[in-house]
Amino acid sequence: MKCPYCGESDTKVIDSRAADDNSSIRRRRQCVTCGKRFTTYEKLETMPLMIIKKDDSREPYDRSKVEKGILLSCRKRPVSSQQISKMIDEIENQIFSMEERELPASVIGELVMQKLKDVDEVAYVRFASVYREFKDLNAFMDELAEFLNNK
């Protein structure tokens, strides 16, 4: 670590502790050459998860998009905000445990549908109708029939 005062790279760590946000480490350092002290913060660097969309474009994973889809499907349903947060957390745990740098959006959509199926059947059907892009009533009825057969 270079000293911000004299530019010397020989410094020593005097004190280390977790930063206020608990996601980084705060270190007090002292330059061996000039003796001045300064603070550095170390944070774990992670690769962003990229989502591969239907048109093969890529964008960084965005929790708010998953949340928005679930909130819309659960609108006016007896699903608490705690249940929604828990679903999103579980989906994220599954996504990040795959340890992939790129993931098709369809994988996330299927995970959301699995969680919604367990929490609220109407919310599941709402999400499926948008996610599966039903072209007509027959396609919608086929999905409902499959859902009822697997129940």
Return the pLDDT at 144.
78
Return the pLDDT at 46.
65
pLDDT tens, residue order, the chain (151 aa): 889 999 999 999 999 988 776 767 899 999 999 999 999 988 766 668 899 999 999 999 999 999 999 999 999 999 999 999 999 989 988 998 888 899 999 999 999 999 999 999 899 988 988 887 777 777 778 877 887 787 6
Q: Compute the distance between CA of residue 148 and CA of residue 92 in angstroms, rounded to an integer.
A: 27
Cβ contacts of 121-127, under 8 Å, gap ≥ 24: 121/147, 122/77, 123/70, 123/73, 123/74, 123/77, 123/79, 124/73, 126/72, 126/73, 127/69, 127/70, 127/72, 127/73
Return the pLDDT at 44.
65
Contact indicator for 109, 51 with CB cutoff of 8 Å: no
Tokens of 105: 């959006």
Q: Is the pTM of this model over 0.75?
A: no
